[in-house]
Amino acid sequence: MTRIWFRDPLAIHLGRDTDASRAARGIVVDTTLGTIVELVPAGVEPAADETFDASAHVLTPGLINTHHHFYQTLTRAWAPVANLPLFGWLVNLYPVWARLTPRALELASTVAMAELLESGCTTAADHHYLFPDGMDDAIDTQVSAARRLGMRVVLTRGSMSLGEADGGLPPQQTVQDPETILADSERLVSRYHERGAGAMTQIALAPCSPFSVTTELMAASAALAERLDVRLHTHLAETLDEEDFCRERFGLRTVDYLDSVGWLTDRTWLAHGVHFDDDEIARLGNAGVAVAHCPTSNMRLASGIARSVELEDAGVPVGLGVDGSASNDASNLIREVRQALYVQRLRYGAERVTSARVLDWATTGSARALGRSDIGRIEVGMQADLALFRLDGLAFSGAHDPLAALVLCGAERADRVMVGGQWRVIDGRVSGLDTEALIAAHREEARKLVTG
């Protein structure tokens, strides 16, 4: 057993409304157990095998990303869609994404997770719903990539079954039949899903959206998730176009549709949730449905501003997501914290949206959205998932409150990141990863994908 004392951090965020003086002198981690075993108050010097001098670091729980599309790192800043809203953006990108290969997905997933790790993120949920010919083992590919990096993941078995020929948005070559989708979902849960504290790999079921999946598949996915005891995820209420689609096709608003297919449950977390009315917010809160707030993506595609404060106040667990790197163009979660702060202040004002609140969305709130109680806070018995940020350089010169500076001054990269007691980022770089070689290979696959 090795006990590491993170000594005298410059500042520490245990969790919103939690007294940081309980850990004024830092924390102790047991690297064998992979958990936090002691909070060190002022005047105490704990027993430890090693000491890490954290006096130049802001220490936070590992950030948690609740919504992503790893494969989209291959189509960042693609000119034909740079200035389009969601539906036009999707129509132009679907034919490109339909050419996805296992090698391209492996590289894209590795790039996305490495970028997330370097931004202080220790757990990521990915929504993968593309299974063109040759991509049957897409989630298996992602599991392998996550294990190589040592990152905690919730990999969702996404699906699209409603193609253009049936009134949906995706091209026919990207959709699958429900039997194939459900059988593969069950296979993946049986093979990879880990339960309990410290789980590194989990599987969830994730039909893509109301405009790409049949009502029957939505209902069947909910039933299967309940039987297998796994979580449910989908896009919902992202744009007004989606609201119009649901009204025209189903005769229902989005939350009514969600209820009609058995998804109004605390097993569910939704991506975006921009266009909910007051009654829908109350219903979501009463049901315990969670929302992944994706501020950069919502601004990039001009989708709107989520009512995140009202959602949280109504009992909805609110987490943060970077969304896919073709609607955000980055996989940087500490940057997303800052974006959330500013866009939510536009709606609710500065006093209601604090640095501590948005950091909590990226940690405790995100953990709740993913159904996890073992991550997202710094507390005895919690997993030792930690992000340590230095406040060096011109951007932080003159800053006074370290926790506020982390968000307001625009931190971009963690100096150190620990997952389950193991260092995964050292000196700002993913440990053991040949980043330059990865970038070269990834760029080549991205070029081939868009040129056909």
Q: Is the pLDDT of residue 18 over 90?
A: no
Question: Mean per-residue pLDDT for 351-364?
Answer: 97
Q: Is the pLDDT of residue 16 over 90?
A: no
So what's the pLDDT on residue 172?
Answer: 86
CATH number, residue 303: 3.20.20.140
Q: In terms of domains, do 99 and 44 share one?
A: no
Q: In terms of domains, do 196 and 297 share one?
A: yes
Domain that holds residue 52: 3-61+383-430
Distance of CA 354 to the CA centre of its chain: 21
Q: In terms of domains, do 421 and 327 share one?
A: no
Q: Which of 345, 368, 391 is the last residue of a domain?
A: 368
Q: In terms of domains, do 17 and 155 share one?
A: no
- Domain presence at residue 448: no
- Domain presence at residue 445: no
Q: In terms of domains, do 237 and 163 share one?
A: yes
Residues 375, 373: Cα–Cα separation, whole Å: 6
168 or 418, which is more confident: 418
So what's the pLDDT on residue 118?
Answer: 98
Please count the structural domains in the chain: 2
- Domain presence at residue 438: no
Is the four-CA dihedral 371, 191, 162, 127 of positive or negative sign?
A: positive
pTM over 0.95: yes
Nearest Cα neighbor of 225 from 179, 263, 260 is: 263
Q: In terms of domains, do 327 and 340 share one?
A: yes
Q: Is the pLDDT of residue 163 over 90?
A: no
So what's the pLDDT on residue 111?
Answer: 98
So what's the pLDDT on residue 419?
Answer: 98
Helix axes 138-149, 178-192, angle to 10 degrees: 30
- Domain presence at residue 81: yes
So what's the pLDDT on residue 370?
Answer: 98
CATH number, residue 42: 2.30.40.10
Q: Which tens digits make up the pLDDT trace of 197-236?
A: 999 999 999 999 988 899 999 999 999 999 999 999 999 9
The answer to whether 294 and 322 are in contact (CB under 8 A) is yes
- Domain presence at residue 103: yes
Q: Which two tokens stand for residue 233?
A: 């995820």
Residues 130, 138: Cα–Cα separation, whole Å: 8
Question: Mean per-residue pLDDT for 245-264?
Answer: 94
Which residue type, as a one-letter code, is found at position 417? V
So what's the pLDDT on residue 97?
Answer: 94
Which residue type, as a one-letter code, is found at position 404? A
Residues 342, 348: Cα–Cα separation, whole Å: 10
Report the helix count and the strand count for the chain, using DSSP H and E.
15, 18
So what's the pLDDT on residue 268?
Answer: 98
- Domain presence at residue 341: yes
Those residues whose C-beta lies under 8 Å from the C-beta of residue 402, and which sit 6 or more positions away, are 10, 11, 58, 391
3 state DSSP class of 253: coil
So what's the pLDDT on residue 170?
Answer: 83
The answer to whether 215 and 251 are in contact (CB under 8 A) is no
Question: Mean per-residue pLDDT for 12-33?
Answer: 94
Q: Is the pLDDT of residue 357 over 90?
A: yes
Q: In terms of domains, do 417 and 290 share one?
A: no
So what's the pLDDT on residue 301?
Answer: 93
Q: Which tens digits make up the pLDDT trace of 304-314?
A: 999 999 999 99
- Domain presence at residue 287: yes
Residue 152 banded pLDDT, cuts 50, 70, 90: very high
Q: In terms of domains, do 146 and 223 share one?
A: yes
Q: In terms of domains, do 349 and 233 share one?
A: yes
Q: Which tens digits make up the pLDDT trace of 93-137?
A: 999 999 999 999 999 999 999 999 999 999 999 999 999 989 999
- Domain presence at residue 288: yes
Q: In terms of domains, do 14 and 80 share one?
A: no
So what's the pLDDT on residue 289?
Answer: 98
Q: To the nearest whole number, what is the mean pLDDT of the chain? A: 96
3 state DSSP class of 151: coil
Question: Mean per-residue pLDDT for 244-263?
Answer: 94
